[in-house]
Amino acid sequence: DAKTTQPNSMESNEEEPVHLPCNHSTISGTDYIHWYRQLPSQGPEYVIHGLTSNVNNRMASLAIAEDRKSSTLILHRATLRDAAVYYCILRDIEGAGSYQLTFGKGTKLSVIP
């Protein structure tokens, strides 16, 4: 799987937007960009995914650079419940390993009340 690079940690104030960056300079044309998060003492939770166009859902927005070498997960209004480790993962859905979620180190997001 292509590699992703994320900051180790970030902080945000409650009720402010949060932009979590992810670099994936070696992304291939068939790699989807997936985001998961893991709250303390819980299993990972799917957040959002996309290929080329920006995506929105009830949890977050995903902004994908035009060259696809980077992306940003946007939480529009951080709450204390959003404090978690956020993982940016590339999945080649056409490859033999398409079933795989290869987790990197992720970004630990702290939300300050």
Partner 1 sequence: DAMVIQNPRYQVTQFGKPVTLSCSQTLNHNVMYWYQQKSSQAPKLLFHYYDKDFNNEADTPDNFQSRRPNTSFCFLDIRSPGLGDAAMYLCATSSNRGGQPQHFGDGTRLSIL
Nearer to partner 1 (CB atom), residue 48 or residue 78: 48
Nearest distance, CB of residue 98 and partner 1, angstroms: 5
User: What gap in Å lies between CA 37 and CA 39, rounded to an integer?
Assistant: 7
Nearest distance, CB of residue 19 and partner 1, angstroms: 22
Cα dihedral 75, 40, 38, 108 sign: positive
User: What gap in Å lies between CA 40 and CA 38, rounded to an integer?
Assistant: 6
Nearer to partner 1 (CB atom), residue 96 or residue 113: 96
Nearer to partner 1 (CB atom), residue 21 or residue 104: 104
Nearest distance, CB of residue 59 and partner 1, angstroms: 12
Residues that bind partner 1 in the complex, under the rule CB under 8 A: 32, 34, 41-46, 49, 87, 91, 93, 98-106
For the sheet containing 70-75, what is the strand order? 18-23, 70-75, 61-64, 55-56
